Amino acid sequence: MVNHGRSGGCATCRRRRVKCDEAKPECRRCEKLGVPCEGYDRPPTRLRFRNENQKLAARAARPPKHERSASISSISTPSPRPSLEPDTTVEFFLAHYATAGRCLGALELLVPALASTPSHPSKAPLPLVVSAVGRGMLSVWRHGPAALRHPHSEALGAALAAVRVAVQDPLERSRPTTLLAVVVLQFYENIVSTYNRRRPSRTHFDGAISLSSAVHADATSDTDSHLRNAVRTLIPRYLLHFEVRTSLRTGRPLPDAASVWVEDQKAASVPPSPVAALDVIGASISRLQVAFVRLCTRPRSSPSFATRLAAWQLAVEAAESQLAAWAATLPTHWHPVWLVGPDDFDPSIPTYAGACDAYAACQVASAWNSWRLYGVALAKMKFALLGAQDVHRQDIQDLVDNICHSLPFYLGNRTRVSSMADFTDLDIHLPYHPSLEPEGLPEHVGPGVPSARHRRHVLAQGPWHAMGVMVWLLRLVAEEDSPLLLRPGQLDWIRTQFGRTLTMLWLGGDDLPCYHALGVLGSTREALGDSGS
């Protein structure tokens, strides 16, 4: 079969492996980036001949369509179903969800974990799980969520079968790689449940709790001891993060296991990460929320009401002090950079009041937004029980303002459904500041242009993080509270960004009640890495 080799384009775009618009004398992409266009001179194209015999033979050996599994759900508008090579899907998943950003949490362990696993699938469910989940995620980027109904589910079925076999084997059950496989499955369940408009199942999460105990109880010295120690540190943080978000979202008390994880974080010899420390504060706020509900149902004339209210108020003040201390002790790179006007960001980016913040990573931005939302939640409870005189309206509105200033960081100027083309589309602009790069600004990147790694992770994860933040905020901001929490026109601006985010994620419409489980960054956010180190 004749193959004409790579298409034309300037030498600079070819080296950067991006599509060139081939404008003459210099391409517009290079001009936009402020890099020299090296022109179009290249040796004459040589024809290459690829041997397609093996591919054709494999295609011919497939059974006829009517003999294939009939278990695949039909849909009204089928999407293309190209074969996805396992190496490609794993590489995509790791590059966009497990190795980009900061404080990646449980998923940051995937690369060393995959390197330590044996090749035999019956003994190593993790490679099968990562490959299957990678297939699903890449399919969504290529064809939208309808692709989740296509035959990659066969790969997912094989992965689930391997996990079931592993958890029945005492040795495999205690391996950290088995636990990580279950965590990745919960990540995927959070994504799929969002597209299916349902609450995510806790099956894999509850399995992770059980397996976490097995990993902790196994004191054997083996080749994966470093991985085991890392899992023993990070997985309880992930589990606590999930439970704190669930408790705050539903109003239910934290389970007993979460209280144990909180005490473990406090007693740890190694200081907790900023996110883990914030989750410990979140656990306190969850308990305050439960106590608040009980106080609201207790008659104020009750003899014990005043005593209970005073104790609750002291606990609120303690939580507020902890939140202030958290923000004051963060490392420098965790602090946002304030950007104002067209000199700092592209004017096509919708901002609130003409300004926005840039962060080191989506996980960092979302930790800050959790901190802000904790403050809003405490203020709302104080307002309900103590009255407006004990609530500083300006402080609350400043917190909401800062949340609004963070949203452009996640979303940039994007308005269309996400696709693979986004990763090379130079017309997509994101707020950015080079001082936040962990290794400095690469030489070939001009001022204000994010590095490839930073850009990749914001494009992949940003809308999910933004949706989680806005769902939480919109839930807190009931209509009757709007004058207290929001400035005039602010709610409409937030709803506009919410609708834009749903469009990017192929979710359509802005029917907020469908997203009560979101988490997906109250559940997916922790899988994406909010529980990181």
Cα gap 26→37, rounded to integer Å: 6
Q: Per the structure block, which two tokens stand in for 68?
A: 């294939």
Cα gap 309→307, rounded to integer Å: 5
In angstroms, the Cα distances linking 522 to 39, 197, 249 are: 48, 15, 8
Across the 533 residues of the chain, what is the mean pLDDT of every consecutive 10-residue run? 51 67 76 65 42 38 38 33 61 85 70 76 80 93 84 81 92 90 93 87 90 72 70 86 89 86 71 87 95 91 91 96 96 92 91 95 94 93 79 84 98 97 95 72 47 88 95 80 78 94 83 41 44 47
Instruction: Give the structural domain span for 33.
Output: 2-61
Please state the domain count of the chain.
3
Same domain for 424 and 279? yes
Whether the upstream peptide bond of residue 25 has omega within 30° of 0, thus cis, is: yes
The structure tokens 């958290």 sit at 326
Look at residue 444 in the predicted model and tell me its pLDDT.
38
- To the nearest 10°, report the CA torsion of 465, 467, 470, 475: -120
State the CATH number of the domain containing residue 9: 4.10.240
- The answer to whether residue 113 sits within a structural domain is yes
- The answer to whether residue 74 sits within a structural domain is no
Q: Which of 227, 209, 214, 202 is nearest to 168 (CA)?
A: 214
- The answer to whether residue 268 sits within a structural domain is no
Same domain for 406 and 280? yes
Q: Per the structure block, which two tokens stand in for 34?
A: 């402020």
Q: Is 147 exposed, middle or buried (0-12, 13-18, 19+ CB in 10 A)?
A: buried
- The answer to whether residue 248 sits within a structural domain is no
pTM of the model: 0.78
Same domain for 117 and 48? no
Cα gap 451→343, rounded to integer Å: 19
Look at residue 199 in the predicted model and tell me its pLDDT.
85
List Cβ neighbours of 315 (8 Å cut-off, separation of 6 or more).
284, 287, 288, 291
Question: SS3 for 340?
Answer: strand
- The answer to whether residue 442 sits within a structural domain is yes
Same domain for 486 and 378? yes
Cα gap 504→501, rounded to integer Å: 5
Same domain for 483 and 398? yes
Same domain for 126 and 168? yes
Last residue of a domain, one of 186, 220, 240: 240
Last residue of a domain, one of 220, 240, 260: 240
Same domain for 299 and 200? no
Same domain for 426 and 360? yes
Residue 445 is given by DSSP the state S
Last residue of a domain, one of 195, 220, 240: 240
Residue 350's identity, in one-letter code, is P
- The answer to whether residue 145 sits within a structural domain is yes
Same domain for 403 and 307? yes
- The answer to whether residue 393 sits within a structural domain is yes
Phi-psi region of 319 (alpha: psi -120 to 50; beta: other; left: phi over 0): alpha
Same domain for 200 and 144? yes
How many other C-beta atoms lie within 10 A of the C-beta of residue 217? Answer: 8
- The answer to whether residue 247 sits within a structural domain is no
Same domain for 482 and 357? yes
Same domain for 204 and 296? no
